[in-house]
Amino acid sequence: MIRQMDRILGGLWGLLIGDALGVPYEFNDPSDLPPKDKIEFNPPDGFVRSHRGVLPGTWSDDGAQALCLLDSLLECKTMDIHNFASKLLAWYENGLWAVDNKVFDVGNQTAASLREYKNGMPPNKSGFIIPDGKGNGSLMRVLPLALWHKGDNEELVYFAHLQSLVTHGHEINQVCCALYCLWAKGMMNDLLVDEAYKGAVKELREIYRKDSQYYNELEYCLRPDDEPFGKGGGYVVDSFRSVRMVLNNEDSYEAVVKAAVSLGHDTDTTAAIAGGLAGIAYGFDSMPDRWVASLRGREELHTLINGLLLHHGVI
């Protein structure tokens, strides 16, 4: 049995390491990537890395925004959308929780939403600035909510929706975040990957029974019972399906994140989302020591990690 502390640490480190692993390969077609066994923080000789000014082992916007969420949850002891939005803006403008305080990768919808928030739009409205925006920018950061949360499932779903509204307001973004959090919570409670997923789908259907819009997005857009197939793209449904696919097909943390990167395209985000869940599933102790030791910015995590573990009473 994997200890709760090992699952908590696995989730957080798993997201950050997956993100950092994917950074140098972003925007490439899968056919242009190295073989899986050569995918590392530092790509093999001859591969032209993306974000060439960024040192190997650096997490991107995915990790920084996730840490902003965790920071806000620990500070406010609840999901406070105003506090969270202010931290996202501090990341965007000043590099809060970015490695070396340098922001090098920002999604168009996230940038537009945060500019609107800065100009006075309420944070529960700013994520609708692109009404049909369905990117993965809120799914990539939501895992700390599931790692922190101790309330009932309806509250977890509500909070998952709330954090999404700041930058990605469309219902399908909220639905994907909610299902992901319930899935993570199931694994935190020692369920296997597929068992936890099926339980999360069943629970979310019950929660959405009284809201036809969310229910329809779940059933007819995300289609959670379909066999998962994804291409590693930036569309939130494709991201979710890609993550489910690699988790179903692989049996270790390292194999999951390398398979996520091998899909190409939005490599850092796919590997961050998949890596967080794989970290919960297999635990922190399953992660390669070379990646843990080489993750840049890890020294800055101690306060957040200790706060999260104290919150759960495991230290």
Closest CA to 136 of 212, 239, 54, 33: 239
Closest CA to 254 of 13, 8, 9, 5: 13
Question: 239: pLDDT confidence band, cut at 50, 70 and 90?
Answer: very high
With H, G, I as helix, E, B as strand and everything else as coil, classify residue 125. coil
H helix runs in the chain, sequence order: 4-22, 61-76, 81-94, 108-118, 143-148, 153-165, 171-188, 193-208, 212-216, 236-249, 253-262, 267-282, 289-294, 302-311
Per-residue pLDDT at 33: 98
pLDDT tens for 81-138 read 999 999 999 999 999 999 999 999 899 999 999 999 999 999 999 999 999 999 999 9
Cα 237 from chain centre: 13
- Does the structure show a pLDDT above 90 at 30? yes
pLDDT tens for 183-236 read 999 999 999 999 999 999 999 999 999 888 999 999 999 999 999 999 999 999
What whole-number percentage of the chain has pLDDT above 90? Answer: 97
pLDDT tens for 149-174 read 999 999 999 999 999 999 999 999 99
Q: Can you give the C-alpha Rg of the chain in angstroms? A: 18
More reliable by pLDDT, 68 or 315 = 68
Annotated binding site: 60-62, 266, 268-269
* CA gap 96, 227 in Å, rounded: 38
Q: Which residues contact 237 (CB under 8 A, 6 or more apart)?
A: 134, 172, 176, 221, 222
pLDDT tens for 35-63 read 999 999 999 999 999 998 999 999 999 99
Annotated binding site for Mg(2+): 60-62, 266, 268-269
* CA gap 305, 164 in Å, rounded: 23
With H, G, I as helix, E, B as strand and everything else as coil, classify residue 252. coil
Q: pTM above the 0.95 mark?
A: yes
Domains along the sequence of the chain with CATH:
4-41+56-311 (1.10.4080.10)
Q: What's the chain's average pLDDT?
A: 97
